[in-house]
Amino acid sequence: MRGQRTERLVRLAAKFMLSPSKLISLTDLANKFNVSKTVISDDVEVINSAMEEEGFGQMQVDRGRSGGARFIPLCTPQYRDTILSEIAVRLSDPERNLPGGLIYYSDLIFNPETALTLGYCMASLFTETEPDVVMTSEVKGIPVAMFAAYALGVPLAVCRFRNRPSDGAAVGVHYPTANGDVKTMYIGTRQLQQGARVLIVDDFMRGGSTASGMLLMAKQFEAEVTGVGVFIAYDEPKIKSVPNYRSLLTLHNMEGENRLSVTKQKD
């Protein structure tokens, strides 16, 4: 059905944004809207200009035989800095300080709007790594990792600290913690394919033991880890058990002031 261009642009933008990183045939879209493929290509250019202006993504067009296009959530540094600066201010409230040098952030990451934005910010750091799956650990790692996987157009695999019958056959690994304890995590064998490209995403890192456990899990599947991303990384200890990672925010313990502050992590 031929409609006004404004309506078509809105419907096209919605279709692409609801399926991030998924290639959509321009020919199919042309048939759907009863217009030529050239018209759809022009519409995609308009959508791309608007997204780049907003700073949260861009359209990628495949000029090959398939003739498709996809929406890539690719946050500009300015967009990401604005979002993270606002969150850093909220988390720097002394009322959020918890015993043991921790900070309360569950209300933010379990808010779908905030988690979606953080997921897009996280995904934009690893778009070029082209993972096949995002891996995280229960429970608080799931929201940001889920939306990062959504943005990248890949599934989410969750490592659990207790094996559940509903997960089916599972693989377990033992990993050491900073205080010398040994913990175990499990993942269902159907969640991760042998040799997959894995992006690890977690909510918080202090010493990095949980992330290192997920690295061990990936190794069991002979998977290639394309990156490690963290929502908040504690600045102490300086040396983590996971040497290479990227964090959206860094948590600092202010000496002598008995309070914590959160600052953005430089790229």
Domain boundaries, the chain: 1-73, 77-262
pLDDT score of 146 more than 90: yes
Say which residue the tokens 């692409």 belong to: 16
> pLDDT-based confidence at 253, cuts 50/70/90?
confident
Instruction: Give the pLDDT of residue 267.
Output: 58
H or E segment at 187?
A: strand 182-188
> pLDDT-based confidence at 1, cuts 50/70/90?
very low
Instruction: Give the pLDDT of residue 259.
Output: 58
Instruction: Give the pLDDT of residue 5.
Output: 86
- Give the CATH architecture of domain 77-262: 3-Layer(aba) Sandwich (3.40)
Residue 125 backbone phi and psi in degrees, to 5: -75, -20
| Helices of type H across 142-240 | 142-152, 209-220
Nearest CA to 185 out of 161, 169, 208 is that of 161
| Helices of type H across 110-226 | 112-125, 142-152, 209-220
> pLDDT-based confidence at 235, cuts 50/70/90?
confident
More confident residue, 264 or 80: 80
Nearest CA to 129 out of 54, 34, 196 is that of 196
pLDDT score of 219 more than 60: yes
Contacts of 226 (CB under 8 A, 6+ apart): 126, 129, 130, 131, 197, 198, 199
pLDDT score of 256 more than 70: no
Q: Which amino acid is located at 198 in the chain?
A: V
* CATH code matching the domain that covers 1-73, chosen among 3.30.420.130, 1.10.10.10, 1.25.40.90, 3.30.1300.30: 1.10.10.10
> pLDDT-based confidence at 13, cuts 50/70/90?
very high
> pLDDT-based confidence at 265, cuts 50/70/90?
low
Instruction: Give the pLDDT of residue 179.
Output: 78
> pLDDT-based confidence at 237, cuts 50/70/90?
confident
147-170 in b/e form (b: 16+ CB < 10 A) is bbbbbbbbbbbbbbeebeeebeeb
> Under a CB-based contact definition with an 8 Å cutoff, are residues 130 and 70 in contact?
no
> Under a CB-based contact definition with an 8 Å cutoff, are residues 260 and 253 in contact?
yes
Instruction: Give the pLDDT of residue 255.
Output: 66
Q: Which amino acid is located at 226 in the chain?
A: T
Nearest CA to 14 out of 62, 38, 50, 63 is that of 50
CA distance 53 to 57: 9
pLDDT tens, residue by residue, 61-106:
987 666 799 999 888 888 998 999 999 999 989 899 888 878 999 9
pLDDT tens, residue by residue, 171-197:
999 998 877 789 999 999 999 999 999
Mean local confidence (pLDDT), 225-249:
91
Please report the beta strands in 75-137, taking only residues with DSSP state E, as ranges in sequence order. Answer: 97-98, 102-103, 133-137
Nearest CA to 86 out of 118, 45, 44 is that of 118
